[in-house]
Chains A and B, each alone.
Chain A
Amino acid sequence: MADVKKIATRESYGNALAELGKENPNVVVLDADLAAATKTGVFKKEFPERHIDCGIAECNMVGMGAGLAASGMIPFVSTFAMFAAGRAYEQVRNGVGYPHLNVKIGATHGGISVGEDGATHQCCEDVALMRTIPGMTVIVPSDDVEAKAVVKAAAELDGPVYMRFGRLAVPVINDTADYKFEIGKGTVLREGTDVTIIANGLCVGESLEAAEKLAADGINAKVINMATVKPLDDELVIAAAKETGKVVTVEEHSVIGGLGSAVCDVLSEKAPTPVLKLGVQDVFGHSGPAVELIKEFGLDSEGIYKSVKAFV
């Protein structure tokens, strides 16, 4: 896919914020000494007075976000997923979730594609943690187009939103005329009748490629981009499961508590279906180039292809 445009969704986050800043004077961006990495520097350059670097103090940053939201601002609290969802979990839970404040959490560097920094910075638990907070919306966009649409939609929603962005540049797959993002709605990217692949984040592009390989073997896979993990598009999941009889979930996250678990939660209650959960299998990551790690964890198109083929 050398000819396909690639961009990391964290870049999209920064760019979308800069656009949003022009439209809405209440948008304020907070960072914790990682503005260069979370890409909010673009916003900072345009609106220095509305960019607050909190220093390396994520818990205080989330609390400040709560105070800003309670005073009518729309804070986008930005840091790595590890620190937003991990270190500041309780601040998000008690300070943002419980009072259902209008705080947007922009979590970059989610998953193993953080790469060389290794396990301490590769957060594969954030979606699970955020899903458990009542009223929290959790979104994992798949590419630049979607990431920008997610930031816009999050700003329009009144309530807390957790957005997970990636470090690695990923192909743009949603630059189609009819693309539309709606919180809580999945998108069918490819029709198929033998199996449904439900993915999010960078796994969507890989799943689409895997589906092409499966097709060559005579297996027709339906591919769904499920950017919103919470609230999940139950209706689409159930319909697809009933239609294809088998479901595979693919995410750059632990198979415990993330998209795979959310899909299983729905299907076990409403439409029992065999599900294969692809993701990080209850292990920590390690250092290495992102692309190689994705391959090692079986989340590249070849890995997905092989797992789905064996499952179907």
Chain B
Amino acid sequence: MTVAELQKTANEIRKGIIKATHAAKSGHPGGSLSSADMFAYLYFEEMNIDPENPKMEDRDRFVLSKGHVAPGLYSTLAERGFFPKEDLLTLRHIDSYLQGHPDMKKIPGVDMSSGSLGQGISAAVGMAVAAKLQGKDYRTYTLLGDGEIQEGQVWEAAMSAGFRKLDNLVVIVDNNGLQIDGKVDDVCSPYPIDTKFEAFNFNVINIDGHNFDEIADALKKAKECKGKPTAIIMKTVKGKGVSFMENQVGWHGSAPNDEQCEQALNELEKVGC
């Protein structure tokens, strides 16, 4: 895909996030929007996956450790053809398979159930270890929030991944700077993030998480790096793409009303895609 095509895809993913959370009247648009560009690149360029065969044995794995941005993952999976896009409107509804947080038993394309923060990365480490044990070359990707890394288990997992030299594992941190209670560095600062992962023997790459060239380059370097897992720390804007949501902590976990939904979709339409 060209950068323009990737931008168009990410924009479609963002529209799905807005429509889904609007229909659900709840959910987490802020972190979904900040991750949308990475989602687009992973699912449309990077990962070896097959929407027709979601359980393909040697597929690359993805674990959404920041499980609350399920709308971002679901919109991406729908855009990629794992399930119908119109199903996004059933998000969080009582008769829907699209649970509030990812459910691997119900949702095609979801490789691990997640939602309780700090736990997904451990499962991703387990998957990477499994690939090594089985002599398989699939890769495992996991996306964490910058607030999420306050969880101690993240560092248990990081220590384990670094120690085991899991070069088939990519840990991505969505550094949008905000968590429920405010700025991450006001609540309980995780900074510096990069040197923490470096200290756990990771290959660390800092990027702008809205720049596709940088995303592509980082994931390429991750593949080339042998003997170490890679951590990509991506600086992002929470709520990216919707003016009134950008950098606003209130949009971490609240849904747009009718008017806000319309405005958000209008803005995303104007991006020209």
Contact of B126 with A68 in the complex, beta carbons under 8 Å? yes
Bound complex: CA of A60 vs CA of B162, how far in Å? 13
Given A57-B160, A63-B157, A70-B111, A28 and B119 contact (CB-CB distance below 8 Å) = no
- Within 96-149 of B, Cβ neighbours of A (below 8 Å) are at 103-105, 111-113, 115-116, 118-131, 133-134, 140
Q: A176 in the interface, Cβ–Cβ < 8 Å?
A: no
Listed by A's residue number, 22 A-B pairs whose Cβ atoms lie within 8 Å are: A55-B156, A55-B159, A60-B160, A63-B119, A63-B120, A63-B122, A63-B123, A63-B125, A63-B126, A63-B153, A65-B126, A67-B122, A67-B123, A67-B124, A67-B128, A68-B127, A71-B126, A71-B131, A73-B133, A94-B113, A94-B115, A99-B103
Contact of A67 among B127, B134, B156 (CB under 8 A): B127
- The answer for the CA separation of A100 and B105 in the assembled complex, in Å, is 8
With an 8 A cutoff between CB atoms, is A52 at the interface? Answer: yes
Across the interface, which residues of A come within 8 angstroms of B152, CB to CB? 59
A50→B133 contact, CB < 8 A: yes
The answer to whether B130 touches A68 (Cβ under 8 A) is yes
Q: 1/0 per residue A81-103: CB within 8 Å of B?
A: 00000000011001100111000
Closest residue of chain B to A28, judged by CB?
B133
Bitwise interface map of A from 234 to 268 toward B, beta carbon under 8 Å scored 1, else 0 = 00000000000000000000000000000000000
CB within 8 Å for A64 and B113 given contacts A55-B159, A59-B156: no
A49 to B112, CA, bound (A): 25
CA distance A95 to B63 in the complex (A): 12
Interface of B: prevailing SS: helix
Chain A residues contacting B118 (CB-CB under 8 Å) are: 59
Is A66 part of the contact surface with B, judged by Cβ < 8 Å?
yes
Interface of A is mostly: helix
User: Are A68 and B156 neighbours in the complex by a CB distance under 8 Å?
Assistant: no
Q: Determine whether A291 belongs to the interface, using a CB cutoff of 8 Å to chain B.
A: no
Chain A CB within 10 Å, residue with most, of B112, B122, B124, B125: B122
Which of B119, B130, B156 is in CB contact (< 8 Å) with A72? Answer: B130
Q: In the assembly, what is the distance between CA of A183 and CA of B105, in Å?
A: 24
Query: A112 contacts the other chain (Cβ, under 8 Å)?
Result: no
Size of interface on B: residues with Cβ below 8 Å to A: 34
Per the bound structure, the CA–CA distance linking A265 and B115 in Å amounts to: 32
Contact across chains for A64 and B133 when beta carbons are under 8 A apart: no
CA gap between A50 and B132 in the complex, in Å = 11
A99 nearest CB neighbor, chain B only: B113
- B residues contacting A by CB (< 8 A) are 61, 63, 103-105, 111-113, 115-116, 118-131, 133-134, 140, 152-153, 156-157, 159-160, 163
In the complex, which residues of chain A have a beta carbon less than 8 angstroms from the beta carbon of B156?
54-55, 57, 59-60
What is the CB-to-nearest-CB distance from A160 to chain B, in angstroms, rounded to a whole number? 13
Q: A62 an interface residue at 8 Å Cβ cutoff?
A: yes
Q: How far is the CB of A267 from chain B (nearest CB, A)?
A: 33
Which listed residue, A28, A60, A70, touches B157 by the CB 8 Å rule?
A60
Inter-subunit contact B112/A99 (CB<8 Å): yes
B122 near A71: Cβ-Cβ < 8 Å: no
A193–chain B nearest beta-carbon distance, Å: 47
Question: Which of B105, B113, B123, B130 counts the most chain A CB atoms within 10 A?
Answer: B123
Q: Residue of A at shortest CB range from B112? A: A70
Q: Which residue in B112, B128, B133 is a CB contact (below 8 Å) of A66?
A: B112
Output the nearest chain B residue to A50 by Cβ-Cβ distance.
B133
Give the complex CA separation of A72 and B103 in angstroms. Answer: 18
The smallest beta-carbon distance between A152 and chain B, in angstroms, is 22
B63 to chain A, nearest CB (A): 8
B115 touches A99 (CB 8 A): no
> Min CB distance, B33 to chain A, in Å?
25
17 other A-B residue contacts (CB within 8 Å) besides A64-B126, A65-B126: A55-B160, A55-B163, A57-B156, A57-B160, A60-B125, A63-B125, A66-B112, A66-B126, A67-B112, A70-B61, A70-B104, A70-B126, A71-B131, A91-B122, A91-B153, A94-B116, A99-B113
Supposing A59-B153, A91-B122, A98-B113 touch, asked if A67 and B105 sit within 8 A by C-beta, the answer is no
CB closest residue in chain B, given A100: B105
The answer to whether B160 and A70 touch across the interface, beta carbons within 8 angstroms, is: no
Bound-state Cα–Cα, A52 to B133, Å = 11
Q: In the assembled complex, which residues on chain A have CB atoms less than 8 Å from the CB atom of B125?
A: 60, 63-64, 67
Give Cα distance in the complex from A168 to B157, angstroms.
33
Q: Indicate the member of A55, A57, A69, A70 with the most B CB atoms within 10 Å.
A: A70
Separation of A98 and B119 alpha carbons in the complex (Å): 13
Please indicate the chain A residues that have their CB under 8 angstroms from the CB of B116 in the complex: 90, 94-95
Q: Which one of A49, A63, A69 lies within 8 Å of B121 (CB-CB)?
A: A63
Residues of B within 8 A of A100 (CB): 105
> A54 near B160 (CB under 8 angstroms)?
yes
Residues of the B chain whose Cβ atoms lie less than 8 Å from the Cβ of A55: 156, 159-160, 163
Q: A60-B160, A71-B130 are in contact. Are A66 and B105 (CB under 8 A)?
A: no
Question: Which residue in chain A gives the minimum CB-CB distance to B105?
Answer: A99
Give 6 closest A-B pairs by Cβ, nearest first.
Answer: A67-B126, A63-B122, A71-B130, A60-B156, A64-B126, A57-B156
